[in-house]
Amino acid sequence: MNAVPSVAAQPTPKPQLADIGVSIDNRTFLSDTERLKLIETAWTAPDGFQWPYSERKDGNTIRKKYLGPQHFSGQYSVFAYSLAKQGVFCKPCALFASDRIRGVSLDRLVKSPLQKYDHLSGKDGYLTSHLANAFHEDCCSRAKAFAETVRSSAGTISHKLHTSASAELERNRRALGRIIQALEFHGRLGLPLRGHRDAGELPLHDRRGQFQGSTSTDGGLQ
Ligand SMILES: [Zn+2]
């Protein structure tokens, strides 16, 4: 018999909001971006992760039933494993459920981690039954509405930034145009770009030189 416990020891977790178990304890402090990232990023096991298992009796045989990557992809990508709490949560439910629904307190997969892995998928599996739950569907709708709102407001901000950047680009283009015209003008007349005195202290009115004078005749580059 293997001495590995049913919930295997994990690499030391560093508490962070990307861990669903930590983030649900800090729901009110989560930024929209952090919340969106949690919902939309499928959980993947970190390097060195030891998949936990539960034991199930099959007649006289004890079988190990492992949690695996298949429980976090496709229709199961709403689930995430918390290293901090060593178990599985449903992300939309954990992040968008109210504390109580019709007097029923919420627990496994929502407020506390699922740590039994003996019957996860298939008929009446813990995960499959959860997905079929109306409560879960309701939380998924809230998560979807939240994602759309965040995206549309981010789109507005991005558009504003783009508009502001375009205006600055246009100003720079006009300034560059004036510099080029001045260079051409000086080139055609064979004039130097420096001031017309090369040595000694320049009187104040001479310091700008011909090039600076040419570029600022229409209001300067600023
Ligand atoms: Zn759920």
Tell me the per-residue pLDDT of 23-71, one tens digit each, with 9 for 90 and over. Answer: 988 888 888 999 999 999 999 999 999 999 999 888 899 999 999 999 9
The Å distance, Cα 110 to ligand 1 centre, comes to 7
CA of 92 to the centre of ligand 1 (A): 6
- pLDDT value at residue 107: 82
- As a whole number, the mean pLDDT across the chain is 79
Task: Please give the single-letter amino acid code of residue 108.
Answer: R
**pLDDT value of residue 11:** 55
CA of 13 relative to ligand 1 center, distance in Å: 24
Q: Where is pLDDT greater, at 180 or 144?
A: 144
E strand or H helix at 175: helix 134-189
- Cβ neighbours, 10 Å, residue 128: 15
What is the predicted pLDDT for the residue at 100?
67
The predicted structure's pLDDT at residue 27: 84
Say if residue 8's pLDDT is above 90.
no
Spatial CA neighbour of 82 closest among 100, 55, 108: 108
Average pLDDT of span 121-145:
93
- Ligand 1 center to 144 CA (angstroms): 13
Each residue's pLDDT tens digit, 173-209: 777 777 777 767 667 777 766 655 555 555 555 555 5
Residue 44 Cα to ligand 1 middle (Å) = 18
| Cα–ligand 1 centroid distance for 146 (angstroms) | 15
